[in-house]
A and B are shown apart, each in its own frame.
Chain A
């Protein structure tokens, strides 16, 4: 006899029932249930933080490893010479407590800055001296082409003389008279003392010497350190990384997994850690993180935009919810070197037309649940302001966008495919290099794991489709990695647009000039934007003594659109147990100071 409820169907039905039950459980616990622990004092000295696994440890940045988590991780282990804060209370924005040196003394001619180190020591007890600063300088000078922070004409090219006075004092004489605020905030911020007494060698078995004092030796040492930094599985065992200057030491590191930082008992800074351990736990997606946060299994996490309605629930469970505003901008990168779409992006009217199809205020309000604000130009708005895009050069205006396209020879086919009808370089023609019939179709390489980002591009795609501009959205885990700076002949140059701003595209140092972003051949100018006028204005920000140059630079690029300005999300909406102190203020420059944290 044949069963009337065969095994396979039975299994299917059981699975179905289980799925429905699970779904019911999930939805059912929408407002009232859950298993969160109460906030408040935890009676412990450890904190668990939602945090992407860092993948770079050497405190010299390398191309492809400049993500925010690497900077936070790096600062926990290796302090920069200067730390900054943007509250407007300190000279040159230098944080006097955290910095390892006194603010620089500027010579009368404005070219020489003399810096005196405070008393600090490495975790092994060796004093931190100018020898360690010199070691850093030797490494970046001899290997500047491999240093992500380098750009031609910038540091160290703009250093005329580097002079060590004694163990505590050194001076830098610049090639020109720079705006001191710019030089201190955007050039000196790169200096990080490195433990010369432990790292000045070219192999793990070699003895430490003065190898890096020559350019050839410096290259060998640099290659050795870079290779070690590219081997994350040895981070917690390699003796190189045992000597640190930061408040924390690396106790455990699992590649792509959990990282444990332990308080460094020999830390010489004044901001001693109050906790004994910080556990950094990565999550594959917003949903995964939020589920764990909601279950009360982490002490510090974030609330995804889609779950902002859960704010009161989390607060009732003892979490404090606080948006982390960044000193940042967010944009959609255009690839000017793409052999196909590059010629299109080089047309200012086309960039303007595309920009006018991005409804930043509505996207910020509806999709980002008010946790984002429009970006209008390269200089960030004061955190928490600019909610209505009032100052933007190109506000959302599909009709004007259409008019702009049609007035430049495009045959606009709503919900079809808009194509170039009048090729040529005349005022009413498509522009140089654009042939008849060229379609307006682009691929956006975006990020996986951010629900709001996915919805945002669904909206932008929809708006563009209304004018016959076809957008294909491709989500990848790391959009920066697959959309590199490229030459038109390279295979890697096939990308059109890249988005990596789900938590803000770019976090500025204290002085928000654009020499690393929008200057020709700048290190993070992924799309190879180039405009001599922009270069001139960017350069002017480095010399002017007041804000006018920065304003001029901002106004020009806001209109020229080197990229498409996008809603700038907060870095995250942080959720931390109410018993956790010291989290606020959250640094707009996207650093975290775990040493300030403690339990009530």
Chain B
């Protein structure tokens, strides 16, 4: 065990990581069948949402009150229509685009902000660490969904606004994680050596702390994306999502709930299942990446 850290210990990031490690990581990822299933699911869902409309054309802007609540298969609507006549399959594609874009963007935003602040706080310590972490503690003490709802009620929700709102509060988790990593990494010999040679703190964070915490960051990012997709769904479910004709799966689920007792199952099941699948997909991918980045597994 003692030789393990030495052999694969943090290399100078200037050196490109040995190709073998990436290949090993890929191998480990591919050995995780659930991760592959997750990746396949994500590719499938993203493909349907973004490429589907190119081959399956529907009008998702104009309502059609002469064709409301058509059952699947009726009048050329494979998944039926909703309460204002939108084709449900086309709406799923449109809604999926919003959910995936907002989820990915908010997850990435939260990860970038959280990683930067966490790395700075952990590396520099002292009052910088205290200030950042107290902000994190304070914000974590308030239920995030409550904050999202408050903000979404104040501003008119739009996709960029939702990205900002979710990103603005979702960075707390990554910040804590990366700070923990940074606390460990800052005492490593190669960091000390760089500082001894006159390297600045900024360079240490940029070239050593963040690159060596990248595994944790990427794994966490997948979970952040999954969480962000769920937050979009929550907000839309509560009526605080993007107003029509824009759509997202949470809003569709909310709309479908009003028809629960009317037997219009096609308004409820498809968006609900889509949310479950995309969140599961990101969780599976995240777990696969965690395995792949885990040094111990790379070396086995």
Contacts and interface: CB of A to CB of B under 8 A. Distances in A.
A41 interface: no
Interface residues on A, range: 35 or more
Contacts of A461: 244-245
A458 B84 contact: yes
Interface in B27-83: 32-34, 61-63, 65, 68, 83
B62 A462 contact: yes
Nearest to A9: B283
A474 B153 CA distance: 9
A442 interface: no
A4 B32 contact: yes
Interface string B152-193: 010010000000000000000000000000000000000000
A23 B272 CA distance: 8
Interface string A364-382: 0011000000000000000
A448 B237 CA distance: 12
Contacts of A463: 63
Contacts of B65: 359, 362-363, 366-367, 459
A439 to B, nearest CB: 16
B84 A455 contact: yes
Contacts of A363: 65
A283 interface: no
A310 B84 CA distance: 19
A307 to B, nearest CB: 5
B276 to A, nearest CB: 4
Nearest to B297: A2
A286 interface: yes
B87 interface: no
B284 A9 contact: yes
A462 B259 CA distance: 21
Interface in A24-43: 26-27, 29-31
Contact of B291 (A2, A307, A309, A359): A2
Interface in A437-467: 443, 448-449, 451, 454-455, 457-459, 461-463, 465-466
Contacts of A465: 61-62, 245
A12 interface: yes
Given A287-B258, A306-B258, A462 B61 contact: yes
A19 B284 contact: no
A13 interface: yes
Contacts of B153: 476
B2 interface: no
B83 A287 contact: no
B83 A306 contact: yes
A12 B280 contact: yes
A309 B257 CA distance: 14
Nearest to B82: A455
B260 interface: yes
A22 to B, nearest CB: 9
B228 interface: no
A462 B60 CA distance: 10
A174 B269 CA distance: 65
Given A30-B263, A310-B261, A12 B244 contact: no
A475 B149 CA distance: 13
B268 A31 contact: no
Contacts of A286: 258
A518 to B, nearest CB: 29
A313 B34 CA distance: 44
Contacts of B268: 23, 26-27
A19 B272 contact: yes
A472 interface: yes
Contacts of A366: 65, 68
Given A9-B34, A16-B280, A309 B245 contact: no
B280 A27 contact: no
Which of A4, A309, A455, A466 counts the most chain B CB atoms within 10 A? A455
Contacts of A103: none
B63 A459 contact: yes
B10 interface: no
Nearest to A303: B261
Contact of B280 (A13, A313, A443, A459): A13
A580 B259 CA distance: 28
A224 B147 CA distance: 36
B223 interface: yes
A316 to B, nearest CB: 13
A458 B262 CA distance: 20
A443 B63 contact: no
Contact of A306 (B243, B259, B263): B259
Contacts of A449: 239
Given A13-B280, A16-B276, A27-B269, A462 B245 contact: yes
Interface string B224-264: 00000000000000010001110000000001011111110
Nearest to B28: A2
Given A366-B68, A458-B245, A20 B276 contact: yes
A321 B130 CA distance: 63
A19 B276 contact: yes
Nearest to B38: A9
Contacts of B260: 26-27, 30, 287
B133 interface: no
B124 interface: no
Interface in A246-292: 286-287, 290
B279 A12 contact: yes
Interface string B259-287: 11111010011001100100110011011
A195 interface: no
B280 A4 contact: no
Given A9-B34, A20-B276, A23-B272, A473 B261 contact: no
Interface string B135-148: 00000000000000
Contacts of A448: 239
B83 A472 contact: no
Contacts of B156: 443, 472, 474
B195 to A, nearest CB: 36
Contacts of B63: 458-459, 462-463
A307 B260 CA distance: 8
Given A9-B280, A458-B63, A474 B243 contact: yes
5 contacts: A20-B273, A27-B263, A29-B261, A287-B260, A362-B65
Given A26-B268, A461-B245, 14 more contacts: A2-B291, A8-B283, A9-B283, A13-B280, A16-B276, A306-B83, A309-B263, A451-B83, A458-B63, A462-B62, A462-B63, A462-B84, A465-B62, A474-B156
Interface of B: 32-34, 61-63, 65, 68, 83-84, 153, 156, 223, 239, 243-245, 255, 257-263, 265, 268-269, 272-273, 276, 279-280, 283-284, 286-287, 290-291, 294, 297
The 8 tightest CB contacts between A and B, nearest first, are: A451-B258, A462-B63, A16-B276, A458-B244, A30-B263, A306-B258, A6-B287, A473-B243
